[in-house]
Each structure stands twice: as structure tokens, then as C-alpha cells.
Amino acid sequence: MKIAILDYKNCSLIPIYYSIKTHNVSVEIIQNLNEMDKFDKLVLPGVGATNQIMGYLNENNLTDKIKLFAKKKKILGICAGMQIMAKKLYENDKCEGLGFFDADVISINSKVYSQTTNIGWSNINTDNSSYYFCHSYYLNFYDKNDNEIIASINLKKKVPAVIKKNNVIGVQFHPEKSQRNGRNFLYNFLYDKL
């Protein structure tokens, strides 16, 4: 199995690279998707401003290639990598996302949480497992009962933590920083158990 991690020059690569590598799979950090047929799965890593990430993807003609990849093979988006899967992004400048999910990415405010950033360990509501989060924006789905929201965390309101649609999976937490639970999550993604 070959896993690609897309480097969009504004992301945290090394922790997720080594976290995936421990599962005895081949993993490469790539800058383009010209050889996407040789990879089985694609990871969009976390950390970074979503408008800058989308700017990089658009400038380097990667947006359509990611969408094409998703038609055939699985993609995992982590934190900011999940947020760019929404339709509209409001971090810094408003921009279009990849449009996989009917949601906007908006800032955490006092109606959502007591602080502007959710940082630290939170339990997801599906199995009460704890994962490490660090985000100031979140996916606000147009339909709060959307069945593509697989798991949430409970702040002042429910915030999506795991989303899934066809071949596309997004997580707001960082599996590479979530110790055993994160390792188990990556295993389940790699071996098609999600």
C-alpha cells in the first residue's frame, strides 16, 4: 500500500508522516499529483490557514486533481485539511473550498466555546474516545442533522469532529498527536475499517 501526503507548503508534515509509517505502509510526501495512480490513499495534513492552502492548491492546479482522486480512492483531511473540504472558507479572506461537504468554515465564537481556540483533549460522542484538538475554526454544516457528520465534540454546541462522504474522510482532531486513539484511527483509515 502506498500513501501520499500532499505538501501544500503551509502544513505540518513530519508528525503525520511518521505516524503513518509506523503502520508498515509505504508513505511519500509529494508536491503534485501527476503520479496519483501509483498511490492508494491521499492525506491532506493539518495546520495552516485555509485560504492560503486553497491559494496554493489553485495556483498549482491541484484542486481538480484532488477531486479526481476522490472519485476513485480515499482521502483523509486532518484539521485544516478537513476544513478545506467545505464549500466556503472564512479564515482571513473568504474563498471557495473543495466543496465535498455542504458546510462553511467559520470562526469559533462565544456561542460555540468560551475561548476562541479549542486546544487540548476532547471526547468524541460516538465512543467517548479522546483526541487532541487545536483549532480556531470549525465546519458549520448547512443541515445540523447531516448524516455525513459521523462524530462530534460537545462544546457549547456540537462541533463536527469526524465527517465522511463516499471516499472522503475529514477529522478536526490531530490523529498524529492523539497517542493510542490516534494511532488506531490511522490504522482504521489505512486498512478501510472506517
pLDDT tens-place values along the chain, 194 residues long: 999 999 988 677 899 999 999 999 999 999 888 888 899 999 999 878 899 999 999 999 999 999 999 999 999 999 999 999 999 999 888 999 999 999 999 999 888 888 888 999 999 999 889 999 999 999 999 998 889 999 999 988 899 999 999 999 999 999 999 999 999 999 999 999 88
- What is the pTM assigned to this prediction? 0.95
Look up the CATH number of the domain holding residue 150: 3.40.50.880
Number of other residues whose CB lies within 10 A of the CB of residue 24 = 8
Where helices occur in the chain by DSSP H, the ranges are 14-21, 50-59, 63-72, 80-83, 179-190
Length of the chain equals 194
Report, as residue numbers or ranges, the catalytic residues. 79, 174, 176
Domain that holds residue 155: 2-190
Number of other residues whose CB lies within 10 A of the CB of residue 40 = 15
Q: How many domains does the chain have?
A: 1
